[in-house]
Amino acid sequence: TMQAKPDTAYYGLPGTGKTTALMDELEDELENGRSVTDIAASTFRKRMAAEFQERASEVIGGDLPDGHNLRTTHALAFQILGLSTDDVVDDTDRRQVCEAVGIDFDGSGEMDEEADWEDFSSGSGMGAELFHLYSYCRNTRMDPEKAWRSVDSLRTETRRTIGRTNGEIVPAFIEEYEDH
């Protein structure tokens, strides 16, 4: 049997050859007998994932099998976890959470299709700010009930509004969001 290659990640600014290197490695693996279902290659851009798929199809001489792992990073994660886009919180869910807590949500779920990441404009309403705070705190392992005072990316007005509730809107929001 073929020995698995170690995981490889390519980092760098746009135009530094990441995709070319990954494409070359993908082609080498396929030409050396590795099955397309045994390879995982991901990128943030949909256009690049489509190029992976096109090149792989050319090398194997046909359509890619269902369940292949040549996808965007998010699509690959969804596939591995057995999720669909219906499993993702969207603006409808966000509005419902905010309405239940009695705050405004004016976020926008518009995604930049050409960006290197899924760039969602989060809006500027209190609800959008609390979703930002929640995500920031989860990613940094900060306590959101305390962090609202120190997270620099929150608007001063948001801090004042949270302060007027003695900070109690934060745990109420978190509880509603996690229950939702």
pLDDT in tens, 133-157: 898 888 888 888 888 888 888 888 8
- Residue spans of alpha helices (H) in the chain: 18-31, 46-60, 73-81, 91-101, 126-140, 144-147, 156-164, 169-179
88, with CB counted inside 10 A (0-12, 13-18, 19+), is exposed
CA–CA gap between residue 73 and residue 75 (Å, rounded): 6
- Report pLDDT digits (tens) over 24-35: 888 888 888 888
**Is the Cβ–Cβ distance between 50 and 61 less than 8 Å?**
no
> Which pLDDT belongs to residue 148?
86
Segment 93-148, tens digit of pLDDT: 999 999 999 988 876 544 444 433 333 344 557 888 899 889 888 888 888 888 88
Which pLDDT belongs to residue 173?
A: 94
CA distances 29 to 59, 109, 149, Å, are: 10, 38, 51
pLDDT at position 177 = 94
The structure tokens 């980092």 sit at 11
First to last CA, the chain: 47
22 compared with 81, residue with greater pLDDT: 81
Question: With a threshold of 0.85, does the pTM exceed it?
Answer: no
Q: Is the pLDDT of residue 44 over 90?
A: no
